Structures are given as C-alpha cells and as structure tokens.
Structure 1
C-alpha cells in the first residue's frame, strides 16, 4: 500500500505545469483603457490631418499625466483644428483614457 501511495505522489510531481495560452491575436485578456485623466501643456503644431480628425503636437511636459516632452497625435474636432497651421504655437488641454487622447481645448498664442 505504501508503494502505491509513493507512485501516485511521483506521478503528480512529474505532471507538467499548465501554461497560459499564447496570444492568438484576440483582444481577450488585453488591458483596456483606464480612468479618464486630464492634462494641459503648450506645444507646436507638427501636422494636421483633417480627414482623420487628428492634430500632431510637439508638446512640452504634461505634468498631470507624468509625460515628458514628446511629439504625439491627438483626436480633434474639425472646429478645433480649423484655422491651425503647421508651426503654430498652441496651448491645449486633453482627455486621456490610457490609450487615446482627445483635444478638449486648443488655442494659438504668440506670433
């Protein structure tokens, strides 16, 4: 009886560990957007894509989001980007959900 009990323990000990399934290209199990955060900064308009509804800004630090200065595209409404041109200096505010940024306010300043 002791011999059978020992065999069972050995069989359990050599059972291969289960592994997590590999990524199959599905969004299942992927982290989704987080809580909405708000930030503000200044920067320079680097590109405008009215067809896609985006503006690319070479912006300074956004302290509220703990972001360093960088160049990044944000979604924007047509009325927000009309009148802007590449090279304009702007003040802006964004909403950030952890994946996407949307301009909530943008205005030119300086010359």
Structure 2
C-alpha cells in the first residue's frame, strides 16, 4: 500500500509543479502605460480616415507622428501616435501642419496611405 501511495505521489508531483510554472504566460500590459489597451483591434486590415496635427516626421525611416482626433472606424479616442508612411506621401507636409489622412490598420501597426494638408 505504501509503495502505491509513494508511486502516485512521485508521478503527481511533476504534474502539479508544471501547473504552477507561469513563465510561459505572456506578461500582462500595464494599462496606464499602454494608451491603446482599451481600443478595438480588428483581426484583418481595416481602412480608416482621420485628421490631426503633425508632431514629428522621419522621412528617411518612413515614419510620421500625429496628434490625431478620434477615429470612428477603429473606435479610437484622440491620441498621439506614430505611423508608417511612404516618403512620397510626405511631400509638402511639415511639423505643425493640420492634416487629413487615410490609413490602413492591421491590428498592430498603421500605415498612412494618403495624407493632405487641411488648407488644400
């Protein structure tokens, strides 16, 4: 009888310990540090339109940062956010410009597909 209990315990112990291993779980994001935590994230690419002010441009890296208003198609609030953009789309756009833009969102990254200054 003691032998059966000992064997059962020895077999169950590794299973019980492996259930306690949390190293395989993804870390939970800090909601205060992640301004996008409460936003809807579509599974497939979605097109959206918005407007805002240009905060930064890095044409060589193909990046633009916008302080944009709410984006209804993605259920996003107003925020400051960086996007990918083709350098050709940035012609005539400078920091401080008020712009209207169209973008593609794949659930992780956004790419500006068309951007125009608001005074045009």
Q: Same fold (TM over 0.5)?
A: yes
Equivalence map 1:36-51=2 (5 Å): 36-51=45-60
Structure 1 residue runs of 4 or more that deviate by more than 6 Å after TM superposition: none
Which of structures 1 and 2 has the bigger CA Rg?
A: 1
Give the number of the structure whose residues are more often helix, by fraction.
2
Tell me the SS of whatever aligns to 1:17.
helix
Equivalence map 1:51-66=2 (5 Å): 51-66=60-75
CA-atom RMSD in angstroms = 2.3
Any idea what the Cα deviations from partners look like across 1:54-101, whole Å, max 9, x if unmatched? 111110011211211111111111221110112211111111112221
Count of residues paired in the alignment: 100
d(CA) in 2 for partners of 1:75, 1:14: 51
User: TM-score, normalising length from structure 2?
Assistant: 0.70
Structure 2: which 5+ residue stretches go unaligned?
26-42
CA contact (8 A) 2:60 2:87 kept: no
Partner residue of 1:14?
A: 13
d(CA) in 2 for partners of 1:53, 1:105: 13
